[in-house]
Amino acid sequence: MKILNYSIIYYIRAIFNILNQQKEVIIMYSPTYGKISDEKMIELIGGDFIEKSPDSSYNISVGTDSQNFKCTKTVVVVAIHRVGNGGEYFSTILKG
C-alpha cells in the first residue's frame, strides 16, 4: 500500500507539535545528516527520501520513552523504512 507523502508529513508534524509545547526548535540527530532541526528532518523525509521513490511502500515508526530522576528525559526516535530498500532514522533526547 502506497502511503502519501502528505500523510507521513502530517503524522510526524502532529507528533512534534504535541512534544514541543514551547514551540522551540527540536534538534534531531541522524547518522546520515548529523544534527538538524525537526523541520529539516520533516523536509528530508518528505522531500529527499520519499521523492526518490514515490511509488514504493513505506513503514514509519515514531517511538518515545522517558525516565524521571532529577529531571525528565524523553527520547524520541523517528524511523522511516522503504520496504525492500533500506531506511533512515532520526533521534533526540528532550530534557524538561
Q: 10-42: string of b/e by CB count within 10 Å (b at 16+)?
A: eebeeebeebeeeeeebebebeeeeebebebbb
Please tell me the total count of domains within the chain: 1
Q: Which domain holds residue 64?
A: 5-95
Q: What is the pLDDT of residues 49-96, one digit of tens each?
A: 888 888 888 888 888 888 888 888 889 899 999 999 999 999 999 887
Higher pLDDT, 78 or 12: 78
pTM here?
Answer: 0.79
